[in-house]
Structures are given as structure tokens and as C-alpha cells.
Chains A and B, each alone.
Chain A
Amino acid sequence: MSLKEAAPPVPPPAAPPSGARRRGSGARSGARKRSGKWWIPWLFLAPALILFVYFKFIPMAQAVSMSVQEVRPYLGNTWVGTANYVEILSSEGFRSATWNTILLAIGQTFGSMALGFGLALLVEGQTRKLTFIRSAAFLPVVVPIAVVAELWRIMYHPTSDGLLNQVIGLIGLGPSGFINDPDTSLASIAVTGIWRGAPYDMMIFLAGLAGIDRGLYEAATVDGASTKQRILHVTLPGLRPVFAILFVLAAVRGFRSFTEVFLLTNGGPNGSTEVVMTLIYKLGLEQNRLGVGSAGAVLLFVATLILTVCVQLLRKRRAV
């Protein structure tokens, strides 16, 4: 239900030859000049659009309609108005799940971005060896999340002979309970998420880095800038659009965290890792209260939408 997936990837209109900056006028002048029928692009988009409508938009609309009903698939639904929203908003479980979701989203977003940026700086370059290292670093992204969760569960084994506990034991710490201790469980899940998300961010950073004019670095070096100053004054400003994109993507991903939480802790222990998605799952699919679950899903959607729109607005204001 994220906006990222909900918005079909409509290609941006081709840049008009005149170099006009405004999107609308550009598209219009392009349409006038280009030969061919207006519906040809739609024809190419149609397969994806039909799938999107059927598997995304209709279910989304149904979720909205279910959120104001008591859902009884066989007996027929009954209209309950805002009762589902009132119930979920007034429940303590939803509030703590929201808080946990926000914490997890923030932790995973900034953690992945920081680590991804660091990795990108390390593996940036042209040589063949780097290609191999980059592919290796990218592996966590392509490993199925279920495998990731099972791996980390083994690594998080809470006794001193657990893998990570042995590692932190070397520097005299632990043994930590990791996912089994309510104090560390959310952070442990965030670490798993960062480990998985960072290489993804790294790839986008790499693409961004490639777009920065080499001449700027040379100029900065000639001016006597240190490595730190070059990163601070050339690399980071050059990556500004990349940061904005990544922030939205990562935040949406963070809001929707489900699989790793579901597989590692299922919201426990003591509700310390209950996020909105696991709560919705429990309400809707385990307790069969689809109406209340849908209300939660709609609230999550609205939150994601607001976040994305805010980031877009901020970006636009900067760009002008």
C-alpha cells in the first residue's frame, strides 16, 4: 500500500528541445511536435496499468470501504461509520505500535543512508575488482528476507555461544539478549534492516556519485581542500537530489516493515517490536477483524502519503 508502489512508473516527458524548464508546457509542446497518436504510450503502459488497477487500486479502494464496515465475508458487511477508526486510534496497542514504527523507520532510514553512503565512498571507482566488491556488497538486497531473518535469528542467539554474542564478547560486552530482550529488540531489528537496506542505498549513491563533475573535485584539490572538505562541500551538495529520493524510499520502506519483524519477533517480546503492519496483520488476518485492520491500513497509507507529499514540497521549494 505504499505510494512508491502505488504510483505507476510513468516515464517523465522527454525534455523538449527548446530547453523549457516547466514540465507542463514541455509535455504539451512535445506532444504537438511529435508525430503519432496520443494513445500509443498508453497502449504500452496498458498491461502494467491493468495489473495495477486490479491488484493495487481496487484492493486499496476496498480497504477504504472495509475500514468503515464490520466485515463478515459471508453474512454481508454492515456499515459502522468511524467506529473502526475510533477503536484503533483509542487503543494503546496502536499508539505504541505507531511509536515503534516511527522509531524503526527513523533508525533504518538514517542507518541505511549513513552506511550506504560510507560504502559508496569506499567502493566508488572504475577498476574491475570494484565491480566484484560492489556485487558482493549488494548481495543482502537480493537475499530473500525470510532467509535474512532466519540468518539473523541464528546470529542473535541470546547465550554467550551465539555468534554476535561471541563477537561482542571479544570486547568484553554481553551476552546480550538481542531480539529476546525488550530493551534491545527494536534496535536489533533496526540493525537487521540497516544491513539489508544499506547496499540498496549504496547503489543509488554510486549512481549519484557518478553524476558529479570530476572537475569540481580537481578544482577543490587545487584550492587545497582536504578529503573531508571535498566530501562536505562537493560530494554532499552534489548528492542532494539523491538524498531526497532515498529519504522517501527508505522512509516508506521503514513504515511498511513487516517481514523481518514478523519472522524475528512477531511484535514481541512484551510488544516492544510491535509495528503497525504486524498489528494490522494480527487484527485482520489472525483475529478476523478485517474492518479494524483495514482502518489501521488506511491510517498507515495516509501517514505515508503525507510524508511523501511533504518531502516533495520541500524539494520543489529548494529546486526553484
Chain B
Amino acid sequence: MAKSLRWAALGLGAVLAVAGCGTSGAPKVEQDAKAPLELWTRTTPGGDGEKGMKKLAAAFEAKTGQQIEVTAIFDDFETKLSQRAAQKDLPDIVMNDSSQLGTMVSQGIAREVDLSKIEGSDQLIESALTVAKAGDGKTYGVPYSAQASALLIRKDWRAKTGLPVPKTWDELTALAKAFTTQDPDGNGKNDTFGLAVPGSTKRGYASWYFSNFLWGAGGDFIAKQADGKYKPAMSTPESVAATKWFRDLACTSKVVQPGAATMDTPPTNETFEAGKTGLYVVGPYLMPRFDKSLGKDKYEVVPVPAGAKDATVLAEGGSAYLMAGSANEAGQNSWASYVISPEAQKLGMEGEKAFNVQLPVNKTVDVTSVRKDPRWKVYADVYRDSGRYAPSIPNWTPIRQATADTVNALIADCGLDVPAELTKLDGKLGEMLGQQGIAAS
């Protein structure tokens, strides 16, 4: 009885599934300029990010009379978006990481943006606008916030060791060593470490963190060729040198916190705020949290020291994606125009916690006009001078995942041979680039 039923259900499901996949292509939707907009933002529901976005939305409603409803989702954001895509009923606007562009475009869920219809798009910082362009040269998003990585240092610890703010990688290593061996918290135990590293492979964290050092050393994950295609670049001498240096922090000088290989960002943040680690390379979004848990006076924010080449660090940001199949494209455009306007950029930066704009993407907005805290100036300068985004390729996630796997392996298993592992990684990257159709011959 149970068996025959199982088969019946299987058959029924198969029929449904086959029926479901018959329809395809983006439907054309009748436009209605009054239709309320549905906006999804990737942030914790009930958290500060949601409050900040609601603040922006309210100001937008007051200004334009256009209704907009904000939904905050954090866990499995992309999965939930896929489900809505399968129902052919996407939210009108998605505020998400700029690095999601490739994925959204290859799924066909973000529509092309006509910049001439976005007021003020000529005031956008060029590098921020570049990430909104896909491999085909078309624009698929409107950046509204930017950030870059800087180095947080425990000020009181550094004062105790008497070392200067590091300007080179050697000085950084020396400081990390001092933090590890000289008992900077003075509790008589050898329980502090230098650099905090989220080295887990979850969401590709290991790779995400390492990019701050890889690029500074002149290395790269994948290198763009003259014809616009890409070649794997993790086994170049520069990349190998950067990887060796990073790996030595964990394996030779042992200044990375123990357990880094299985830590994603939450436990790593905790090591910094609990006084177990004294150096951390992160974006500005953690400052409110550390100000509260650790104290504003306990740490300082400085640019990441330059590597062999320069001080390039990872730049990231948020973009407004105008989703396909919306009944109110005019409304989408007016929201995009609004979030990049000087007015909204300033409003977005206001507040101690509930801010949504980390650094302005509008050239005419000066971060110091809103934020008097000099630490923000450090972040703004780093972003302008040394920020670099992950490349816009059809799907960056597998590349980040594969590099994270290797970086994670190297810091977890000190017996591995660095050049051999990186050569193996390059083989994998080459395959992935081939799958995405962007491999240089």
C-alpha cells in the first residue's frame, strides 16, 4: 500500500515539475506608475540595517508620494530570491551586495538599468559604477553605498609594546608577534594573539579576507587579459609570495588566533572584542559594534600597510538592483535616483548605528560633512585611493569558494606545499572560467 502510494506521488510530482518547467522567458508586464514598490534588503530583520532602510524609504515616500514597502531578510537571502523568481513574482527592488551582480544577471532577474533615466548617475564615483556593469558592458545595478577594508589595532596594546603604527608588512608582522608573545593585556597568561582571521570556507570568507593582502602584493585570483577574458593567476610569483606570507602568520610565527580555520565572521569578531586578538582587517560596518562592546578609545583605525606592490584592499558595497518583471519601472528608476542623491546619501549616513550608506558613492557628498569622526575619513581615503572591487564576471561565487578552500587548507595544514596547492587551484579556476565562458585561451 505504502509503496504504490509512494510511486503515485512520485509520478504526480514529476508531472507537476515537467509542467512547471515548460514556461520560460521574462514576461512583459503592464506598467502602472502608481503600483507600490516592494523592496528587499539583505540585513537582519529588526536590526539597525532595516531601521536605516525604513528611514530612507519614509523620506522617499514623503518626497515622491510613491509607496514603498521594506522587507529585511538575512538568512538564505539568495535562496528566497530564487523561490520568488521561480514564481515569476520578484520584488521590485533588491538592495544587496555589489558582488551579487554576476549571479543576478546570469539568472536574468535583474533588469538592465538605463542610466539616462537615473537622475544624478553622472555624479557617481567611477569605480563604484564599474561594479554595476556586467561582463557584457551593460549596467545592471545602481550602487548606493561603498566600503573598503582598513586595519583595526588595539591602541592600548600597541602603547604597551611601544611599537609604531605599521607601515609595512614586516612591521605588521612584528606588531602581531608582540601582541602574541608580550602579554599585552597584562593578565599574566599567554592567551592573546596578533591578527584575527575569519579563515572558514563559509561564504568564501578565507578568500574574502585574504584578498586584502593578495592584491597589495601584486597578486590576483584571476587576471584580465587584453581580449577581456580571464586567466587564473593564483600561481604567479606575486600570488605565491602573498600566500606564503599570509600562511606564515598562521603556521610559522603563529600570530593568528587558534581555530581560525573553522571560524566565520561572528566568532572572529568576538575574538577582537573579547581581547583575544589585537589586529583585524575589516570594513567600517563593525565600528558601531566595537564602539559598544570594546569602547571607542580602545582601538584605532589605520590603512592596511602596503604590500610589495601597493596598499590595495578589498572594496565592497551595496547596489540597488531593479528587478525584472516589475509593474512599476518608473518607480524603480525614481528610487534608484533617490538613493544616490546627495540628500539621501547624507540621510543614509546619519546616525550612530542605523546607517545604510557606509561611504557615499556620490562625488559631491563629503563624508566629513555628516560624520565628524576622523575614523570615517580614514575609511573614505582608503576607499578612494586603494579600494578595489572583485571583478564583474558571470559568477564570482565559485571562484571565491575555490580560493577560500585553498587558503583555508593552507592555514589549517601547515605541511602542505604552497606552490603545489596554488597550481592545483589554478587548474580548478581555469575550469570554472571555462564553464562561464570567459577563459582566455
A8 at interface (Cβ–Cβ under 8 A)?
yes
A266 near B90 (CB under 8 angstroms)?
no
CB distance from B84 to the nearest CB of A (A): 8
Which B residue's beta carbon lies closest to that of A77?
Answer: B21
A105 at interface (Cβ–Cβ under 8 A)?
no
Chain A residues with Cβ below 8 Å from B21 are 65, 69, 76-77
B175 at interface (Cβ–Cβ under 8 A)?
no
Dominant SS at the B interface? helix
Chain B residues with Cβ below 8 Å from A270 are 405, 408-409, 412-413, 416
Q: Which among B21, B203, B409 has the highest number of chain A CB atoms within 10 Å?
A: B21
How far apart sit A272 and B415, CA to CA, in the bound complex (Å)? 14
Binds A, one of B5-13, B64-72, B151-159, B327-335: B5-13
How far apart sit A289 and B395, CA to CA, in the bound complex (Å)? 10
Q: Which among A60, A287, A289 has the highest number of chain B CB atoms within 10 Å?
A: A287
CB distance from B4 to the nearest CB of A (A): 12
How far apart sit A260 and B20, CA to CA, in the bound complex (Å)? 34
27 contacts between A and B (CB under 8 A): A7-B2, A53-B13, A58-B16, A58-B17, A60-B10, A73-B109, A74-B26, A74-B88, A75-B25, A77-B21, A153-B262, A159-B191, A182-B409, A266-B264, A267-B201, A268-B201, A268-B262, A270-B413, A270-B416, A271-B405, A282-B401, A285-B76, A285-B79, A286-B397, A287-B401, A288-B78, A288-B395
Q: B389-430 toward A: CB 8 Å interface, digit per residue (1/0)?
A: 000000101100100010011011100100000000000000
B261 at interface (Cβ–Cβ under 8 A)?
yes
B349 at interface (Cβ–Cβ under 8 A)?
no
Which A residue's beta carbon lies closest to that of B424?
Answer: A92
Q: B338-365 toward A: CB 8 Å interface, digit per residue (1/0)?
A: 0000000000000000000000000000
Chain B residues with Cβ below 8 Å from A53 are 9, 12-13
Given contacts A64-B14, A282-B401, contact A287 B409 (CB under 8 A): no
B161 at interface (Cβ–Cβ under 8 A)?
no
Chain A residues with Cβ below 8 Å from B24 are 75-77
Selected from B18, B23, B412, the residue in CB contact (under 8 A) with A181 is B412
Total interface residues on B, using CB and 8 Å? Answer: 58
A207 at interface (Cβ–Cβ under 8 A)?
no
Which B residue's beta carbon lies closest to that of A273?
Answer: B262
Interface residues of A in 89-143 (CB under 8 A from B): none
Dominant SS at the A interface? loop
Selected from B6, B83, B90, B201, the residue in CB contact (under 8 A) with A57 is B6
Q: A142-180 toward B: CB 8 Å interface, digit per residue (1/0)?
A: 000000000001000111010000000000000000011
Chain A residues with Cβ below 8 Å from B401 are 282, 286-287
B6 near A6 (CB under 8 angstroms)?
yes
Given contacts A53-B12, A285-B79, contact A180 B264 (CB under 8 A): no
A26 at interface (Cβ–Cβ under 8 A)?
no
B31 at interface (Cβ–Cβ under 8 A)?
no
A61 near B16 (CB under 8 angstroms)?
yes
How far apart sit A159 and B408, CA to CA, in the bound complex (Å)? 19
Chain A residues with Cβ below 8 Å from B201 are 266-268
CB distance from B400 to the nearest CB of A (A): 9
A180 near B259 (CB under 8 angstroms)?
yes
Given contacts A69-B21, A73-B82, A180-B262, contact A61 B10 (CB under 8 A): yes
Chain B residues with Cβ below 8 Å from A6 are 6
A62 near B12 (CB under 8 angstroms)?
no
A76 near B14 (CB under 8 angstroms)?
no
A265 at interface (Cβ–Cβ under 8 A)?
yes
Chain B residues with Cβ below 8 Å from A62 are 13, 16-17, 20
B107 at interface (Cβ–Cβ under 8 A)?
yes
Selected from A10, A179, A287, the residue in CB contact (under 8 A) with B2 is A10
Selected from A61, A74, A288, the residue in CB contact (under 8 A) with B17 is A61
Which residues on B are within 8 Å of A, measured CB to CB? 1-2, 5-6, 9-10, 12-14, 16-18, 20-21, 23-26, 76, 78-79, 82-83, 85-86, 88, 90, 103, 106-109, 189, 191, 200-203, 258-262, 264, 267, 324-325, 395, 397-398, 401, 405, 408-409, 411-413, 416
A269 at interface (Cβ–Cβ under 8 A)?
yes
B85 near A73 (CB under 8 angstroms)?
yes
A269 near B413 (CB under 8 angstroms)?
yes
CB distance from A84 to the nearest CB of B (A): 12
How far apart sit A153 and B398, CA to CA, in the bound complex (Å)? 27
A251 at interface (Cβ–Cβ under 8 A)?
no
B10 near A268 (CB under 8 angstroms)?
no
How far apart sit A153 and B411, CA to CA, in the bound complex (Å)? 18
B262 near A265 (CB under 8 angstroms)?
yes
Chain A residues with Cβ below 8 Å from B203 are 286
Given contacts A182-B413, A270-B409, contact A158 B259 (CB under 8 A): yes
Q: Which among A8, A60, A74, A264 has the highest number of chain B CB atoms within 10 Å?
A: A74
Given contacts A65-B17, A180-B261, contact A8 B408 (CB under 8 A): no
Selected from A64, A266, A287, the residue in CB contact (under 8 A) with B262 is A266
Given contacts A75-B108, A181-B412, contact A61 B13 (CB under 8 A): yes
How far apart sit A288 and B90, CA to CA, in the bound complex (Å)? 17
A214 at interface (Cβ–Cβ under 8 A)?
no
How far apart sit A282 and B90, CA to CA, in the bound complex (Å)? 23
A10 near B1 (CB under 8 angstroms)?
yes
Selected from B18, B324, B398, the residue in CB contact (under 8 A) with A74 is B324
Selected from B108, B202, B258, the residue in CB contact (under 8 A) with A158 is B258
Chain B residues with Cβ below 8 Å from A186 are none
Which A residue's beta carbon lies closest to that of B412?
Answer: A269
Closest 4 pairs between A and B when the two form their complex, measured CB to CB: A76-B24, A61-B13, A269-B412, A270-B409
Given contacts A10-B1, A61-B10, A180-B262, contact A161 B191 (CB under 8 A): yes
Chain B residues with Cβ below 8 Å from A52 are 9
B85 near A74 (CB under 8 angstroms)?
yes
A290 at interface (Cβ–Cβ under 8 A)?
yes
A4 at interface (Cβ–Cβ under 8 A)?
no
A72 at interface (Cβ–Cβ under 8 A)?
yes
How far apart sit A62 and B82, CA to CA, in the bound complex (Å)? 15
A74 near B200 (CB under 8 angstroms)?
no
Chain A residues with Cβ below 8 Å from B26 are 74-75
How far apart sit A241 and B288, CA to CA, in the bound complex (Å)? 59
A159 near B258 (CB under 8 angstroms)?
yes
CB distance from B413 to the nearest CB of A (A): 5
How far apart sit A233 and B106, CA to CA, in the bound complex (Å)? 65
Interface residues of A in 209-250 (CB under 8 A from B): none
Chain A residues with Cβ below 8 Å from B78 are 285-286, 288
Chain B residues with Cβ below 8 Å from A181 are 412-413
Chain B residues with Cβ below 8 Å from A285 are 76, 78-79
Given contacts A69-B21, A268-B261, contact A288 B82 (CB under 8 A): yes
Chain B residues with Cβ below 8 Å from A69 are 21
B395 near A287 (CB under 8 angstroms)?
yes
CB distance from B205 to the nearest CB of A (A): 9
